[in-house]
Amino acid sequence: MCRRFKQEFLAFYYCFSCTLFVKTSMAQLFDRAINKTGPAFIAIAIILIELCTLSFYLVVFPYAHDWSTASLWKKVLTAVEFVFTLYMVYCIHFHYYMAITTHPGTMESKQSPRDSSVSLLSEEEESSLRQTLLEMEESDAGNRTMLKTCKKCHLPKPERAHHCSVCNKCTMRFDHHCPWIHNCVGHFNHRYFVLFMTYLVVSAAYFTAFGWQPFMVSLDLMNDEWPYYYPRPLMAFAAILAICMGLAIGGLCLWHYYLVLTAQTTVEFYNNYYDKQQARRQGEVFVNMYDFGFKENLRRFFNVCDKFPWYTVFYPIPIPPRGSGISYEKCDAFYMLSRSRQLDHIEMRYEGHEIDDKDI
């Protein structure tokens, strides 16, 4: 009887191990595929954006504005509108470029030498590493928690950081890995990513509002001649593409603004949802330690609090995020909790990070 049970147990264990191995291997292959095809995703995105841009300036804008018969006042308004569209196009390209090229922030970038041929850290890098560890120790000392280390990359792990399986690095304030920018969305480029989506959605709506008539003409439903050099099929495709991008990216953009207003990342949203349920079962009130209220969260995310005025959010210029990405300020509601509740919140967040990192 015992021998038969042992055989059945070994058979079950073998099947389970094989299934887990296949699942892990498939996940690794998928992550590698996303990492390798990232430049192709960027190329496709640029082609689609430029296709809509050309359609607007070669068909939509000339169709909506007849310069030859317009009055002086209307010509002034047309010139202002033309400058506005150029501003929108530039903002789309600027923020997309910044989201791609800006490092999201990792501990590896803080302690790995820039020149791979050099095995020792430079003085500047050693100073940066010491400062980073000091910030983490000071932050953890205030909460009496141990300095955390990532179990995958074996580097110090700041709060709100998660390990990305695609990049194989711990990203500061990790939100998600986006193949369309071939980069993680993290502490240092999240602002650019959200603004890129914002300008893209507004531009798509603008294109749709002014381009529906040329779109109907391009379908040859009104039997009008086509006086433009731009092909009809491309105009029709660009109009449909603008609608689809506006809806799809618009939904994603609204989701990210909800996360910004509530001081969460995509990963933290699911952790907080679980923690809220646990707190409700225990008759307690859940507190998001990073939530300062809608208005303050928005100001902190776009870093228009102290150094940069509010209107700089409309400037297509590089603006760093608030803080170093190592530690984050806590709201007053968190400090109003008892010391034990504060420690419980911090430990639950670290435990959630370690669980999620297995699947990210």
231/214 Cα distance (integer angstroms): 12
Determine how β-strand 169-171 pairs with β-strand 176-178. unpaired
What single letter denotes the amino acid at residue 47?
I
**Close Cβ partners of 309 (under 8 Å, ≥ 6 residues apart):** none
Chain CA centroid to CA 42, Å:
15
Q: Judge whether 204 and 100 are in contact, CB under 8 Å.
A: no
123/109 Cα distance (integer angstroms): 15
Q: Judge whether 62 and 228 are in contact, CB under 8 Å.
A: yes
* Helices and strands in the chain, H and E counts: 12, 4
Catalytic: which of 52, 167, 178, 253? 178
Tell me, yes or no, if 244 is annotated catalytic.
no
State the SS3 of 278-334: HHHHCCCCCCCCCCCCHHHHHHHHHCCCCCCCHHHHHCCCCCCCCCCCCCCCCCHHH
Strand partners, 171: 106, 162
Take residue 198 and report the two structure tokens written for it: 């914002």
Residues classed as catalytic: 178
